[in-house]
Structure 1
């Protein structure tokens, strides 16, 4: 079945006419990831203007719409009897609060389906300044099942969101575990409390080279992968599948082809300081012009070097020095001046083994997270189209096995379509490490 569609004009009325004046109310902001949040909790400080007298009051259970709306900057105010938001935001109230389940409506309004509809109707030439008129917003049609079905859909999607949050937490815990182990084994590389020999990074290098700049060459289906800044994420993982390919000469391959153990350092732009380690099984690639390639003496293990360069204290040095120019940039001479303590190789190898175990477990959780996110997108599509058997979804505070059955059934359906769903069966990270 498909749900009845209702235009938002039948669900919402404009609000936000009341202003803060001299009232001391919580200041709220809209975020893409978390919806409406308290500035004091999210940012650990108040980031609003000191004068909030013109801010709009958003009463409890009212909808706040920010911009750009097609990035999901929208959410209900469910935390306080009243809060205040930027006067640039629109505020709406429900016409019939008893006939609408807020968690359902908010999930739909933040969904990829709704964001696509916003994008089709937005006006303006500048991407992040494009807007949706109030009339066009109210004309948007929302799938509007019965209240019972709204509650079941929100409950089911909330279960999967909980699993996704849990996986993200585990990934963060693994990152924190490795950082803690590094500090315990070696100490802060800038302070160097264990007094390891330290002549600086430059003295430990055997090779340093800027990536080549290819002028006017066109990417091709065949050739050598070219690493771009966008192919490197914050965790130092390279996306080889996304890299474009280029036909290069044999001379260029000999000069620039990356080798196992190479570290590539992002030297410019907003990504300055990101580091990747080339592994023995990585496909042939050449780091582009925005990277510096480094190789080190045998007294240093590449995994240890990467952890030094990505440590909090060294990243702080890189960040401070790179901001001295209009465009953030960190040069080869700057890299050479960075600290590089050299602990015993046995200790470095012990840390490298731990790093490998963490990386294996991290890949396990990351694969699980990816599968869950794919599942969540598919469930949203089916739920908002009325294609799920909601009779098998429990209501909140009732027997959860039915909801679990629906999720698992969807797992199996999508696995048959070629999506592998492999969820880790342990929450004990240290125990899991021992078995990797």
Structure 2
């Protein structure tokens, strides 16, 4: 694939304004190095551009229309609109950001220089393929954004339910009895923090949790370091399902994070920076209620007020101070009722998180193949042109998200007797995959090798218009592979497909084909 230096095919400028030049009710977007654009009343650009933060967060955005920019924001504009798609460039820069972050220089605040951008080499496939790549990645990114939005909505739902049932825990307008934390506890346990390996533990190894395992108030078992084999694990410090963990030391914003352990893998140990609460049997408290109580904004701020530390050190909350916290304790029946709601919502969040992980993996695989020229786009039609309703509107998007995304269907795939989003049900998912497999066979020429990897790639792309927020991409569920295996065997039985030994090499003198020891699929002579 042809490569071109970014500085040769684009014009790269920076804005002229100071970061505080924006106004809250401005008419135009004002792009700084922050993830979300500000607003401003004057514009300096009226163009289609990719905007790259020059320091700090080092993010990338796309915009078309009138806007202004901070003096450390790079504005990348097209020199030749017939040979470079700016949306394609946006998606390339998005994947290139990891490289730019490694190249960034500076101390506390990292920054990139103009040369880091002008010397960057960008692969340039044919212009129409650039459009196709941008469209496909935009579709997947749109689904990722929807899943993140739904996860946030579920978090907001739990916060609303908590306030509806219990009110603000600090103001205690519902008049619940308050008890010192010490009345509820048998003990506050903590672990040890030996010097560990600079990598996560394998499933067979012992590991020690890092602060990141609870920082987001959701337990993350992946945030750990492997315990050296020379150090014997302290078994009593092993984390178990049902534990309630609490960070006693961190920055003022992050200290007092609390996470409930729904499921724990074996051989993970608490460090000395994380507490574990052990409740009295007769305390009449549900740990899930206490979890959501301690992570409530007003209650957490009250707990964070206990943090103290010498200058230059991270704030620390002592066990003694923490035990004095006054906590509202409703009836155990009401706590249990709330906990049941939490468990249902958390189960739904778990599905969304798995789907999000699947989609992010799909996005990573597609972008890697696209920018290496390994993606077969010959069958993908160009998306229909769409006109933005208002180019000056600033959509509510995350950093590194495209503002405009065309909507189209993949033709000639036609569905019959299925819902709008058939992948949301097991029956619809199998029916859609079956139609795709049938069409895939029909598109093959007779007596040619059949590569099922090509089918899965095709299914990934063609399914995007039929996915909803609950749908996992094709190939992520065992059901998908079992279905395709069944159809392959059926096609072999009816001789639509044949199993043959692969051709290994040909003897030039005799023109004899020597077969290898691998079995491959070939289409039959009659399809």
TM-score (norm. length: structure 1): 0.76
In structure 2, the residue corresponding to 1:273 is in which secondary structure? coil
Partner deviation per Cα, 1:98-152 (whole Å, 9 max, x = no partner): 44221111111111xx2355467x37474853634x3453232211123222211
Aligned equivalents of 2:160 and 2:412: distance in 1?
Answer: 38
Q: Is the 8 A contact 2:177 2:328 kept in 1?
A: yes
CA 1:109–1:197: 2 relative to 1, 3 Å: same
Is 1:38 aligned to residue 20 of structure 2?
A: no
Q: 2:337 aligns with which of 343, 346, 350?
A: 350
Aligned equivalents of 1:314 and 1:17: distance in 2?
Answer: 43
Once the 2 structures are TM-superposed, how far is the Cα of residue 403 of structure 1 from its aligned partner?
10
CA 1:77–1:321: 2 relative to 1, 3 Å: farther
Is 1:285 aligned to residue 335 of structure 2?
A: no
Question: Which residue does the alignment assign to 2:493?
Answer: none
Q: Which runs of 5+ in 1 are unaligned?
A: 41-45, 47-51, 424-436
TM-score (norm. length: structure 2): 0.64
Once the 2 structures are TM-superposed, how far is the Cα of residue 374 of structure 1 from its aligned partner?
0.1
Is 1:314 aligned to residue 299 of structure 2?
A: yes
CA 1:167–1:235: 2 relative to 1, 3 Å: farther
Once the 2 structures are TM-superposed, how far is the Cα of residue 266 of structure 1 from its aligned partner?
0.6
Question: Which residue does the alignment assign to 1:430?
Answer: none
Question: Which residue does the alignment assign to 2:9?
Answer: 11
Once the 2 structures are TM-superposed, how far is the Cα of residue 400 of structure 1 from its aligned partner?
0.8
- Report the more deviating stretch, 134-143 or 144-153: 134-143
- Superposed CA RMSD in Å reads 3.9
In structure 2, the residue corresponding to 1:395 is in which secondary structure? coil
Q: Is the 8 A contact 1:72 1:109 kept in 2?
A: no
In structure 1, the residue corresponding to 2:178 is in which secondary structure? coil
CA 1:198–1:362: 2 relative to 1, 3 Å: same
Q: Is the 8 A contact 2:169 2:298 kept in 1?
A: yes
Q: 1:29 aligns with which of 23, 29, 32?
A: 32
Question: Which residue does the alignment assign to 1:253?
Answer: 235
Q: Is the 8 A contact 1:211 1:287 kept in 2?
A: yes
Once the 2 structures are TM-superposed, how far is the Cα of residue 366 of structure 1 from its aligned partner?
0.6
Question: Which residue does the alignment assign to 1:401?
Answer: 410
Aligned equivalents of 2:217 and 2:193: distance in 1?
Answer: 25
Aligned equivalents of 2:209 and 2:15: distance in 1?
Answer: 51
Q: Is the 8 A contact 1:371 1:422 kept in 2?
A: no
Question: Which residue does the alignment assign to 1:429?
Answer: none
Aligned equivalents of 1:338 and 1:382: distance in 2?
Answer: 54
Aligned equivalents of 1:351 and 1:72: distance in 2?
Answer: 41
Is 1:387 aligned to residue 374 of structure 2?
A: yes
Once the 2 structures are TM-superposed, how far is the Cα of residue 186 of structure 1 from its aligned partner?
1.9
Q: 2:460 aligns with which of 407, 410, 425?
A: 410
Aligned equivalents of 2:46 and 2:473: distance in 1?
Answer: 46
Aligned equivalents of 1:14 and 1:223: distance in 2?
Answer: 50
Aligned equivalents of 1:308 and 1:293: distance in 2?
Answer: 16
Higher-RCO chain (CA-CA 8 Å, sequence separation at least 6): 1
Q: Is the 8 A contact 2:22 2:38 kept in 1?
A: no
Question: Which residue does the alignment assign to 2:134?
Answer: 154
Aligned equivalents of 1:420 and 1:224: distance in 2?
Answer: 30
Aligned equivalents of 2:211 and 2:156: distance in 1?
Answer: 25
**After the TM superposition, which residues 4-403 of structure 1 pair with which residues of structure 2 at under 5 Å, given as runs?**
4-16=2-14, 26-31=29-34, 37-40=36-39, 57-68=44-55, 72-80=58-66, 82-85=67-70, 87-111=71-95, 114-118=96-100, 122=103, 124=105, 126=107, 129=110, 131-132=112-113, 134-214=114-194, 224-240=206-222, 242-245=224-227, 252-254=234-236, 256-270=237-251, 271-279=254-262, 282-297=265-280, 298-322=283-307, 326=311, 327-397=314-384, 399-402=408-411
The structure with the larger Rg is 2
Aligned equivalents of 1:61 and 1:175: distance in 2?
Answer: 36
CA 1:76–1:347: 2 relative to 1, 3 Å: closer
Aligned equivalents of 1:370 and 1:382: distance in 2?
Answer: 18
Once the 2 structures are TM-superposed, how far is the Cα of residue 190 of structure 1 from its aligned partner?
1.4
Higher strand proportion, which one? 2
Q: Which runs of 5+ in 2 are unaligned?
A: 385-406, 414-435, 437-455, 464-471, 481-527
Once the 2 structures are TM-superposed, how far is the Cα of residue 23 of structure 1 from its aligned partner?
11
